[in-house]
């Protein structure tokens, strides 16, 4: 680098010196002329010269003022145009906002005004997308009905698939089936994506027979190109595994292998490992892992999280350490799931110091804890009888923006119940109400168990009565919905 710089510098200096040596002697530019000498005998000569100079200055000043005036006028013109454009843009923005608000008002009502069939496409689609993302399935279906009423509406299979997937996540398979049929009735071709969404909707709810029935229907569909793909089979394999129906899971996997166009992937491996590992069949899980690897399928971070979780729940801490060393060796960064799995494993083992160290490490790496993390901490402290540690978790929650759910509060109820802190356990119900969570059957059953073990039978009886009344109210509500006439 130094030699390059010196060469460049030397060249520049020498060339500049050479250019300077060849420069011709100084010559006055042509546009500069000598000022004429005034006649000293003419009394007006000096005055004329001064006047001429002043006139020249004045003319220059006048021209400068004219230029400034012209610039000011141009600037004022630009400012007026910008102001007009801003007003137009503001009116357009207000108009769009008002139309959106009007659309929202129409959506919230069962029947809109007479012009409800002329709403803007973008406004309706944005409203539909917001509800789908938030899993507000009832409101999403209302918006979709309003969308179908529009004059510009054309059936779109993509929208149907998004709605069916949403209904599957919300465990509404019957509604998903209705939408699937509506899609076909409107002339949309059923493809592997729509069938997979429908199969997933039933499998998520545990209705695996119906899911498999739709898979068979998919195979015999006369339309071309409608065949189960890898995602379809993975959905069923995962569902069978979660339900503990290992025979059907293995047969589905074998059927998948027979399909030339459906080769197993890392998702297939993860679903299989989770099924066997979660049920404590560690050796079977390990054999499957070796077979998938020999087939050329590479593990992902999710694969290692499944292995860690399975080993942790089985108490195989040496194998957990081996997996963590492998991850470190091949640079697999820990995710929030990894931390949650390992924190829970040390908590189950009663190693609170290591659990707390991992929790601090997690936060130092700016990985935000979630309800799963907090549940593991509270559950472990409850088993260890560390009430003050639970209070520390609650203080941490107060200074964070973590959204709590019913599962966390149930863990908190269980922890206080184990410690015999019945007043604090009852206070959890108030915390749930402030957080917008409703106590359920698990909440009351856990409290009943705590009251009974602590000899407070009267409280246990009160909660049993509450559960009984809730069951009757739900049953009566369902009966009234069945008997109630529907007006369209």
pLDDT the model gives residue 64 = 62
Averaged pLDDT, 149-167 = 86
Prediction pTM value = 0.62
CA distance 138 to 131: 9
Mean pLDDT for 61-80 is: 69
Q: What does each C-alpha distance from 281 to 70, 241, 276, 287, 337 come to in angstroms?
A: 87, 12, 5, 10, 22
User: Is the pLDDT score of 217 beyond 60?
Assistant: yes
Place of tokens 């399935």: 137
3-state secondary structure of 1: coil
Q: Which residue has the higher pLDDT, 332 or 259?
A: 332
Instruction: Say whether pLDDT at 339 is over 90.
Output: yes
The mean pLDDT of 205-216, rounded to a whole number, is 78
Looking at residue 212, its pLDDT comes to 78
Mean pLDDT for 271-285 is: 94
Q: What is the distance of C-alpha 202 from the center of its chain? A: 24
Q: What is the Cβ-side half-sphere exposure of residue 267, based on CA atoms within 13 angstroms?
A: 13
Question: Which tokens go with 46?
Answer: 């000096």
Nearest one of 234, 310, 224, 246 to 274, comparing CA atoms: 310
What average pLDDT does the segment 119-141 reach?
82
The DSSP result for 80-134, as a single string, is HHHHHHHHHHHHHHHHHHHHHHHHHHHHHSSS--TTTTS--HHHHHHHHHHHHHT
Euclidean distance between CA atoms 444 and 482, whole angstroms: 29
Helix, strand, coil distribution of the chain in percent, nearest 5: 75, 0, 25
Asked if residue 346 has pLDDT above 70, the reply is yes
Long-range CB contacts for residues 444-452, cutoff 8 Å, separation at least 24: 446/410, 446/413, 446/414, 446/417, 447/413, 447/417, 449/417, 450/413, 450/414, 450/416, 450/417, 450/418, 450/420, 450/422, 450/425, 451/422
Per-residue pLDDT for 340 more than 90? yes
Residue 8: predicted pLDDT: 35
Structure tokens at 104: 């929202």
102 vs 222, which has greater pLDDT? Answer: 222
pLDDT at residue 21, as a whole number:
39
pLDDT band at 454 (very low <50, low <70, confident <90, very high): confident
Which of the listed ranges 107-121, 177-191, 443-457 does the model predict with the highest average pLDDT? 443-457
CA distance 171 to 164: 10
Segment 474-488 shows an average pLDDT of 42
- pLDDT at residue 10 greater than cutoff 60: no
Rounded CA-CA distance 320/304 in Å is 10
Is the separation of the CB atoms in 186 and 159 below 8 Å?
Answer: no
pLDDT at 16 over 50: no
Percent of the chain with pLDDT over 90: 32
For residue 337, pLDDT beyond 70: yes
Calculate what percentage of the chain has a pLDDT beyond 70.
73
Rounded CA separation 226/228 (Å)? 7
Q: Which residues contact 46 (CB under 8 A, 6 or more apart)?
A: 38
CA-CA-CA-CA torsion sign (449, 451, 454, 457): negative
Q: How many CB atoms lie within 10 A of CB 467?
A: 15
How much is the pLDDT for 85? Answer: 66
SS3 36: coil
pLDDT of residue 224: 55
Q: Which of 351, 349, 346, 301 is nearest to 326 (CA)?
A: 301
pLDDT digits over 287-313, tens only?
A: 999 999 998 999 999 999 999 999 999
Asked if 148 and 163 touch (Cβ cutoff 8 Å), the reply is: no
Highest mean pLDDT among 136-150, 189-203, 384-398: 384-398
pLDDT at 4: 42
Using pLDDT thresholds of 50, 70 and 90, give the confidence band for residue 152: confident
Mean pLDDT over each residue of the chain, to the nearest integer: 77
Q: How far is the C-alpha of 150 from the C-alpha of 294, rounded, in Å?
A: 55
CA-CA distance, 435 to 426, in Å (whole number)?
15
């Amino acid at each position: 680098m130094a030699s390059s710089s010196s060469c460049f510098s030397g060249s520049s200096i020498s060339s500049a010196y050479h250019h300077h040596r060849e420069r011709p002697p100084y010559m006055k530019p042509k546009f500069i002329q000598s000022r004429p000498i005034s006649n000293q005998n003419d009394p007006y000569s000096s005055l004329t010269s001064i006047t001429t100079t002043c006139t020249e200055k004045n003319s220059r000043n006048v021209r400068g003022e004219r230029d400034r005036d012209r610039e000011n006028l141009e600037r004022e013109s630009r400012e007026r145009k910008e102001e007009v454009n801003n007003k137009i843009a503001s009116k357009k923005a207000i108009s769009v906002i008002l139309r959106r608000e009007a659309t929202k008002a129409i959506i919230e009502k069962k029947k809109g005004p007479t012009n409800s069939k002329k709403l803007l496409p973008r406004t309706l689609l944005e409203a539909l997308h917001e509800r789908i993302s938030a899993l507000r399935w009832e409101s999403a279906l209302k918006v979709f009905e309003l969308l179908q009423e529009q004059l510009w509406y054309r059936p779109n299979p993509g929208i149907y698939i998004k709605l069916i997937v949403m209904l599957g996540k919300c465990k509404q398979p019957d509604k998903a089936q209705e939408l699937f049929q509506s899609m076909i009735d409107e002339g949309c071709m059923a493809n592997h994506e729509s069938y997979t969404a429908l199969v997933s909707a039933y499998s998520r709810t545990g209705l695996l027979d119906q899911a498999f029935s739709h898979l068979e229907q998919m195979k015999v569909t006369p339309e071309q190109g409608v065949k189960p793909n890898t995602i379809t089979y993975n959905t069923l394999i995962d569902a069978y595994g979660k339900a503990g129906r290992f025979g059907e899971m293995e047969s589905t996997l074998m059927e998948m292998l027979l399909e030339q166009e459906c080769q197993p992937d890392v998702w297939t491996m993860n679903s299989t490992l989770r099924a066997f590992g979660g049920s404590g069949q560690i050796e079977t899980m390990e054999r499957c892992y070796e077979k998938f690897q020999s087939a050329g399928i590479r593990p992902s971070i999710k694969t290692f999280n499944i292995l860690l979780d399975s080993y942790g729940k089985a108490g195989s801490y040496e194998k957990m350490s081996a997996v963590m060393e492998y991850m470190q060796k091949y640079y697999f960064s820990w995710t929030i799931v990894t931390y949650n799995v390992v924190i829970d494993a040390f908590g189950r083992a009663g190693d609170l110091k290591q659990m707390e160290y991992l929790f601090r490490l997690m936060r130092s790496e700016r990985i935000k804890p979630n309800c799963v993390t907090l549940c593991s901490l509270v559950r472990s402290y409850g088993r260890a009888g560390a009430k003050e540690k639970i209070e520390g978790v609650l203080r941490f929650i107060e200074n964070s923006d973590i959204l709590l759910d019913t599962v966390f509060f149930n863990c908190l109820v269980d922890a206080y119940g184990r410690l015999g802190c019945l007043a604090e356990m009852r206070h959890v119900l108030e915390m749930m109400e402030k957080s917008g969570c409703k106590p359920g059957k698990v909440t009351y059953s856990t409290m009943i168990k705590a009251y009974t073990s602590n000899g407070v039978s009267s409280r246990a009886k009160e909660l049993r009565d509450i559960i009984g009344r809730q069951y009757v109210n739900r049953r009566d509500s369902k009966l009234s919905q069945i008997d109630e006439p529907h007006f369209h």
